[in-house]
Structure 1
Amino acid sequence: MSGPVYFVSGIDTGIGKTFATGYLAKLWSEHGKKVITQKLIQTGNVDISEDIQQHREIMGMGWFPEDMTKLTMPEIFTYPASPHLATKIDAREIDFQKIADATLQLAEKYDVVLLEGAGGLMVPLTTELLTIDYIAQKKFPVILVSSGRLGSINHTLLSLEALKIRGLPLYALAYNLNDESQDAIISKDTSEYLKTYLAQNFPNAQWIDIPVVQHKDPLMD
């Protein structure tokens, strides 16, 4: 592959992976990188990936040619559920080779590919394969999306432990400021705790703040 592929996962559903992915693509594009996003598996949609559509809106771009050919959204299932359940309802299996081939084609053309997962690291893609298993097979560095909401310290540390157990590299922790606790004391402490934990246990990982946006709901995952 010519360009790196970063796998964007989250500590929980609704943590803001889609916005973080689109924001990072926009940020790195503005810094001269040729960036494209891809959705590993999209559920709850028909024909097009709403997450990819949101990425393009955040990036301030229209559809890429690779969106039109579905390289960025190789597998779409109709039921809004975990992939292992969505595949059962649609009565077809995930074509993992199709996904891998699409990622490879994107990486050969772009400087960076941001590959957004569905839910968190332990979400089952099939009854035998977890998302983190797929990441481990491909050896993708991970961008983990977290926030200052109550409970995120626990969820973040569990996710980081899972990465450590499998020997997976953490490229960055993306801290979503759109998902802060309503209690400013909790938010401040969560940020400080996670920054200290990251420095001690993942010293090579970056900390990236994902800034607050005015119109949150249409862009949040």
Structure 2
Amino acid sequence: MDIDVGVMKPFASGYKKNSNSLSQDVEILMKYSDSHDPTDLVNPYFFEIPTSPYDASKILGQKISLQKITDAYDKLLLSHDLVIVEGIGGLMTPITQNYFVSNLISELDIDTIIVIGSKLGTVNHTMLTYEHCKQMHLKLKGFVINQTEPNGYELSNLKQQIMELTNQTVYCTIPYQKNFDLDLYIDNFTNLVNISNFGFNDV
């Protein structure tokens, strides 16, 4: 069964942008999801400094409208069967002074998958995130482990720890790639990553 999937990154920040003043992260997201939606719906806010939305909005004097975010999400949802929303930072990244990424997840009422690293300290960070999910009554579906550096926990060991400590699914582990090439990685994704837990066995 074909599923029409939309993508959204409500907030992006950083110096990198293309000639259309689009965040590099958003450009990659739209390219590999084959998104043709208006960029102002996919990414309502792009701050050209690498910091949280709360801090960037103060520095740049750009007010954040939470209604703008929810309206964009609702419009995307009208055009797609489902919309995958990419976060920014972690659950406690501030969007405004008293409103955080976890508040936005709760307001949008969306399922949540947490992407974690594999360096030492990851278990502590993951458990703090997990406890916050429970406190906020978020619909946590599980975790993905993304090994962005060669050192740290051995992946199978870390996966087992997270599953035992949280009683949640670890959908896949993404191994470290020394000479990373995004196009090549996408082409070989199903060979590099075990995604059977997602139910994509026939991909």
Short-chain TM bin: 0.7 to 0.9
CA deviation profile, 1:9-34 (whole Å, cap 9, x unmatched): xxxxxxxxxxxxxxxxxxxxxx7321
Higher relative contact order (CA 8 A, sep 6+): 1
Mark the CA change 1:217 to 1:90 in structure 2 (over 3 Å): closer, same or farther.
Answer: farther
Mark the CA change 1:142 to 1:78 in structure 2 (over 3 Å): closer, same or farther.
Answer: same
User: Runs of 4+ in structure 1 displaced over 6 angstroms?
Assistant: none
Please give the residue correspondences for 1:1-221 in structure 2 after superposition, counting only pairs within 5 Å.
32-44=2-14, 47-59=21-33, 61=34, 64-68=35-39, 70-176=40-146, 178-179=147-148, 181-183=150-152, 186-199=154-167, 202=168, 206-212=169-175, 214=177, 215-216=179-180
Q: How many angstroms apart in 2 are the aligned matches of 1:112 and 1:210?
A: 24
1:193 Cα offset (Å): 0.6
5+ long unaligned stretches in structure 1: 1-30
Identity, % of aligned positions:
27
1:162 Cα offset (Å): 0.1
Could you say what the CA RMSD is over the residues aligned between the two structures, in angstroms? Answer: 2.4
1:130 Cα offset (Å): 1.4
1:198 Cα offset (Å): 3.1
Q: How many angstroms apart in 1 are the aligned matches of 2:175 and 2:157?
A: 18
CA deviation profile, 1:93-119 (whole Å, cap 9, x unmatched): 112111111111111111221111110
> Which protein has the larger Cα radius of gyration, Structure 1 or Structure 2?
2
**Residue 216 of structure 1 aligns to a residue in which SS?**
coil
Q: Provide the aligned length of Structure 1 versus Structure 2.
A: 178
Mark the CA change 1:65 to 1:187 in structure 2 (over 3 Å): closer, same or farther.
Answer: closer
Whether the aligned pair in 1 keeps the contact of 2:13 and 2:47 (CA below 8 Å) is: yes
**Residue 142 of structure 1 aligns to a residue in which SS?**
strand
Q: How many angstroms apart in 2 are the aligned matches of 1:183 and 1:49?
A: 30
Q: How many angstroms apart in 1 are the aligned matches of 2:141 and 2:75?
A: 22
Q: How many angstroms apart in 2 are the aligned matches of 1:73 and 1:183?
A: 33
